[in-house]
Amino acid sequence: MPTALPSQDILQIEEIRDGVLILKNGSLRAVLMASSLNFALKSADEQTAVVMQYQNFLNSLDFSLQFFIESRKLNIEPYIETLRESEVKQTNELLKIQVAEYIEFVRTFVRAANIVTKNFYAVVPFTPALFTTPKEGISTLLGGIGSLLGTKQSKKGDGLTQEKFDEYKNQLWQRVDSVIQGLVRSGVRATPLNTEELIELFYGLYNPGELEKGKPPAIQ
């Protein structure tokens, strides 16, 4: 039976610095969390305007851009725990019964409806010209998650000086600003994830069971 590879061998991240993913192949990534847009509730004219703005945004890009959606079952345990604390503190017996019944109603409803939460992300890449080879193409999404971070190559990101990092980060952030502005014109707000949020994102992607239990990642 084959042995499962550790996450460190699968994940092509060399380090996370100042809200930027530095990959083992020397390229950089910024991850933006984007808001949702209820397209179905808009009028026909509004829908046409959104589609045209989004089309213009995509046509204006001179670099690759990746989108992915994270779907998870709704975790109501923190909310249930708050209700339980309220139930314990309640002195009125009738209100205590009502809180208990409400807790059971919420549990039953969420289980029956199979409610999920969705988070939307955009991944903005930057590969320094020094690290670009004719064989490197536009990656898909992490081979699942893997191609989000590029193909497996030698550790070209090793020894990246602060001066070079600042130079590459500025160029990456120019792309990030362009993406944010383009999405805003389409009615979608986006904001870059910081270092802590990036760690939490990848912890959740690779440890979904632990995240559902409410266990936060150990940030070093």
Q: Do 27 and 107 have their domain in common?
A: no
Whole-angstrom Cα distance, residue 183 to residue 115? 27
Q: Do 129 and 205 have their domain in common?
A: yes
Q: Do 94 and 171 have their domain in common?
A: no
Q: Do 84 and 175 have their domain in common?
A: no
Is residue 219 included in any domain, yes or no?
Answer: no
Q: Do 83 and 169 have their domain in common?
A: no
pLDDT digits (tens, 9 = 90+) for 181-206: 999 999 999 999 999 999 988 888 87
By percentage, how much of the chain surpasses pLDDT 70? 76
- Write out the two tokens for 220: 């070093």
Is residue 138 included in any domain, yes or no?
Answer: yes
pLDDT on residue 139: 44
Using the predicted structure, report yes or no on whether residue 155 has a pLDDT greater than 70.
no
Provide the domain count of the chain: 2
Task: Mention every residue, 6+ apart, whose C-beta is less than 8 A from residue 141.
Answer: 66, 68, 123, 147, 148
Q: Is residue 122 helix, strand or coil?
A: strand
Using the predicted structure, report yes or no on whether residue 137 has a pLDDT greater than 60.
no
pLDDT on residue 107: 83
Residues 142, 14 contacting (CB under 8 angstroms): no
Residues 216, 202 contacting (CB under 8 angstroms): no
Domain enclosing residue 50, as ranges: 7-71+120-212
Q: Is residue 204 helix, strand or coil?
A: helix
pLDDT digits (tens, 9 = 90+) for 15-48: 899 999 999 888 999 999 999 888 889 999 999 9
Q: Do 13 and 97 have their domain in common?
A: no
Q: Do 66 and 80 have their domain in common?
A: no
Query: How confident is residue 220, by pLDDT bands cut at 50, 70 and 90?
Result: very low
Q: Do 207 and 127 have their domain in common?
A: yes
For all residues of the chain together, what is the average pLDDT?
80
User: Can you give the pTM of this predicted structure?
Assistant: 0.69
pLDDT on residue 131: 54
Is residue 146 included in any domain, yes or no?
Answer: yes
Q: Do 96 and 196 have their domain in common?
A: no
